[in-house]
Amino acid sequence: ALVWFLAIGAVGNAEREIRELLRERDEIRKSVERANQELESQVEMRTEELSSAVGELQQSRDRLTALAARTVSLQESERRSIGRDLHDGTGQALTAVQLGLEMLEALSANDPSIRENVHRTQELTLGALEEVRRAVQRLGPPLLDELEFRDAVERMGSDIADQAGFELDLSIAIDGVTLSPAVEIACYRIAQEALTNIAKHSPADKVSLSMRVEHARLELFISDNGGGSAILPENPTSGLRGMRERCAILGGRLDVRVTEGGVAVTATIPLLV
């Protein structure tokens, strides 16, 4: 009988321990569930905050892209307006002067000294008229309005090289890359300005222009062998400021350095603009 009572007591103790273990297990499970719920709530909250931040960032990027595109568009409109003013104002005035000089030349046939002065003035006027025509061409609608980006850059580069008499080595490695109109215009104008500077200010006979895409950025590289006289910062007519501004508007940068024998210009512009 004693053994039986002891056995009954042991069983009772075991049952109590089991119930206690089950109660602790239930409490632990409930604690885990509460912790999971709190964690899920925090994760959901953080996800919403992150989604909101991403949305705001995208909106800011979209606004920046729109602003950059608008700025580039305004720049182009201003260039075309200046080009029209030059053509309609200065160009026509010089043409009228040239016609007047031709009449004066005919009237001064019997006076060699006057005729010679008129002839020199005619040459200066024709030179100024040609400069105005070139400026109007540079300021007017770019070839991008007519050609694909690569073809437009190649045509523009070849035209400037032919007029200036230097050899141009072109390398445009942008196959499979889609450029926004703002990036295309900025890159085209920077290349045009740099090549024009070389044509005007440098004795270079060899120029290199290359483009490539690295890490979602378009890299434009232009170098010459003209001894560093084309695009130095201290040259007030170098157009360096304008090129820097074009890069900065699109979140890019322009680097200029003197190399062995010439100047190297590197423009880097993000593709996301």
pLDDT digits (tens, 9 = 90+) for 140-172: 656 777 888 999 999 999 999 998 999 999 999
**Residue 194: which of 151, 164, 223, 218 has the closest Cα?**
223
**Residue 258: which of 158, 193, 238, 159 has the closest Cα?**
238
Q: Is the pLDDT of residue 272 over 60?
A: yes
Taking residue 234's Cβ as centre, other Cβ atoms within 10 Å add up to 6
Q: Is the pLDDT of residue 269 over 90?
A: yes
**pLDDT of 251:** 85
Q: What is the pTM of this model?
A: 0.62
Q: Read off the pLDDT of residues 185-217 as tens digits, 9 standing for 90 and up.
A: 889 989 999 998 898 888 899 999 999 999 889
Q: Of the CATH numbers 3.40.50.1100, 3.30.565.10, 2.40.160.60, 3.40.50.1000, which one belongs to the domain with range 142-273?
A: 3.30.565.10
